[in-house]
Amino acid sequence: MRRGRAFYLQLAFTVLVAAFLVVPVAMSITAGLTVNFFQGVKSGLTVRWIGEVWRLYRDTIVLSLTIALACLAVDLAIGVPAAYVLARARSGWTRFVEEALVLPIAVPGLATALALILTYGTWREFRTSWLFILVGHVLFTLPFMVRAVLAVLSSIDLRTLEEGAASLGAGFWPRLLGVVLPNCRSGILAGALMVVTLSVGEFNMTWMLHTPLTKTLPVGLADSYASMRLEIGSAYTVVFFFMIVPLLIGIQLAARAPSSRATAPPGRGRASGGLGAIAGPPE
């Protein structure tokens, strides 16, 4: 098929937009790997600045991962049951709860952080602990976990699946573990990857909640650009990319998982697998 002028104009526009987004990232990565940014690549390549980042800011990296994993654990413990209840009820009040869950996202992070400081700022031990940041991250990321799981549960006939499992003699916990969770596994995975990614990269709220002893990775990144050599700040960006990019790829792979299972032949899809696990193998 012969392509017209409109196709090449659209292609050129797409390339320009992509370059506008990618070139600054490439420049930042290059600055973090060169001996002297102002002399460019001709000054030589080095990993010295990445070593400096690890020496100066490794505590912020470790703390960010700790908070992200703790945030994931809390979101799983609260978000998955909440999504299950909302999917089962499906009434006017559940829609109200769904909309209320989105409020921490709609409200600026600085405002949420200020509200937390006004409410719990007098608790000195709590205020100076990383748990204070964890509360803010949970408020921010919980809607993403609930929405991801709820979207999957809403796409299946959950009530029929549970009734089928109950007719085979399964109680509540066997139904939950053998039917509900396997059928929303893709939503849990996508939500988990999203929660970790958002927690690691969250800056606005964390900037207000952190103390000098509880700096996270994005706060350390801002500090390195403000007080260190440009090469060190750029090397910090390289470290940040190495942590975030695999998670973003994982989100894309998790998002494709449901569509690949949707093409399964009748009788071999997710529903039959879940009930088969409850009923056991045929005799």
pLDDT of residue 1: 59
Query: Are 178 and 272 spatial neighbours (Cβ–Cβ below 8 Å)?
Result: no
CB within 8 Å of 264: residues ≥ 6 apart: 270
Would you list the domain boundaries of the chain? 1-46, 56-257
Superfamily of 56-257 according to CATH: MetI-like (1.10.3720.10)
What's the predicted TM-score (pTM) here? 0.77
Contacts 24+ apart (CB under 8 A), 222-230: 224/53, 224/56, 224/57, 228/56, 229/49, 230/31, 230/37
Query: Are 210 and 174 spatial neighbours (Cβ–Cβ below 8 Å)?
Result: no
Mind giving me the DSSP string for 87-102?
Answer: HHH-SHHHHHHHHHHT
Buried-state track 173-189, b at ≥16 Cβ within 10 A, e below 16: eebbebbbeebbbbbbb
Going residue by residue through the chain, which has 283 residues, state the pLDDT in tens, using 9 for 90 and above. 567 788 888 989 999 998 898 888 888 888 888 888 888 788 888 888 888 888 888 898 899 999 999 999 999 999 999 988 888 887 777 777 777 888 878 888 888 899 999 998 889 899 889 999 999 999 999 999 998 998 888 888 777 777 787 877 777 788 878 888 888 888 898 899 889 989 998 998 999 999 888 989 889 888 888 877 888 888 888 888 888 888 778 777 766 665 444 433 344 344 444 454 444 443 3
Compute φ and ψ for 257, nearest 5 degrees. Answer: -60, -45
Half-sphere exposure in the Cβ direction for 222 (13 Å, CA): 11
In the DSSP assignment, the letter for residue 248 is H
Query: Are 36 and 231 spatial neighbours (Cβ–Cβ below 8 Å)?
Result: yes
